[in-house]
Amino acid sequence: MEFNHKSVLLNETIDALDIKPDGIYVDGTLGGGGHSYQICKRLGTNGRLIGIDQDTDAIEAASKRLEEFKDKITLVHSNYNNIKAVLDNLGIDKVDGIVLDLGVSSYQLDNPKRGFTYREDVPLDMRMDKSSSLTAKDIVNDYSEMELFRVIKNYGEEQFAKNIAKHIVRARSEQPIETTGQLNEIIKAAIPAKMREHGGHPSKKTYQAIRIELNHELEVLENSLDTMISLLNPKGRLAIITFHSLEDRIVKNIFRKNMNPCTCPPDFPVCVCGKKPTGKTVTGKPIVPSEEELEENKRAKSSKLRVFERI
């Protein structure tokens, strides 16, 4: 299956990065190379792009797509959480821009073999990094009812999380839950019929929650942003596209903390903690897709772009 992924907020992100022809840029979620392609097009002979992805299918697809720029790109199989180590290995100290397009790629969702989809009956998997041993099946079958409730409630923001967790535990006591088809039936039974009529597929939020838990998506994001900001040159920019409120909140809070890191009590007349801002948010409100983009690509619906510029 071809690695197809329509890059969301593509023009807005490229504009926001304010690309210098001789700059060094990092695409921390390479995917099919959509953002990277547009960055490379704007780079001169001394410009450089580092692409990072934990999915070997993505690395393979992007290397084909970026073939014409091969003399200025380096693609690395890793998680963007390891960005500092990746750059250290390449002898790079600072960069001029970093882009993250979070969430799951269209290819991963649409390729049944990857076990992300609730639209076909396939083995439960959902690993973004296929070399990882833990799968969605392990979470569904091994987590306690309380842990399942926590994951589905917190990461899926699912109002029937308690009932879904209870139904999963009951079903797996009879036989292991191996496939998306089995899990769909369990989730469906746990949500009142009236409520299933609205808000899309009944499994959507639970699958999102399991995927986030399995791939540690929120911890990785939270643990990486300060490092990324520290790796930027002055006027360098970090552009992040999020797809749900949990990610967006993390990005917003960390950007805010970097703009105003002072920890002094509010009644202190002057700052004594000595913590200085590292930069500023370029986007007051997050940038969202145009009507035109939403018509072309339904998956862009919940996307938001926030951009931070280093002092």
> How far out from the chain centre does Cα 33 lie?
15
Task: Tell me what pLDDT residue 30 has.
Answer: 94
Contact assessment for residue 239 and residue 307, using Cβ atoms and an 8 Å cutoff:
yes
pLDDT at 3 > cutoff 60? no
For CATH 1.10.150.170, the residue range(s) in the chain are 130-214
Task: Tell me what pLDDT residue 105 has.
Answer: 67
For CATH 3.40.50.150, the residue range(s) in the chain are 10-107+217-310
Q: Which residues pair with 50 in a beta bridge?
A: 26, 74
Tokens of 191: 């949500």
pLDDT band at 1 (very low <50, low <70, confident <90, very high): very low
**CB neighbours of 169 closer than 8 A, spacing ≥ 6?**
144, 145, 148
pLDDT band at 298 (very low <50, low <70, confident <90, very high): confident
- Per-residue pLDDT tens digits for 198-207: 878 999 999 9
DSSP state of 33: S
Looking only at the bridges linking them, the beta strands covering 95-101 and 24-27 are: parallel
- Topology of domain 130-214, per CATH? DNA polymerase; domain 1 (1.10.150)
Q: Which residues pair with 26 in a beta bridge?
A: 50, 98
- Per-residue pLDDT tens digits for 101-124: 997 766 667 778 888 888 889 999
**How open is the CA angle 280-220-52, to the nearest 5 degrees?**
85
- Per-residue pLDDT tens digits for 153-195: 999 999 999 999 999 999 999 999 999 999 999 999 999 999 9
Contact assessment for residue 168 and residue 177, using Cβ atoms and an 8 Å cutoff:
yes
Average pLDDT over residues 247-271: 96
Average pLDDT over residues 32-60: 95
CATH 3.40.50.150 assigned to 10-107+217-310? yes
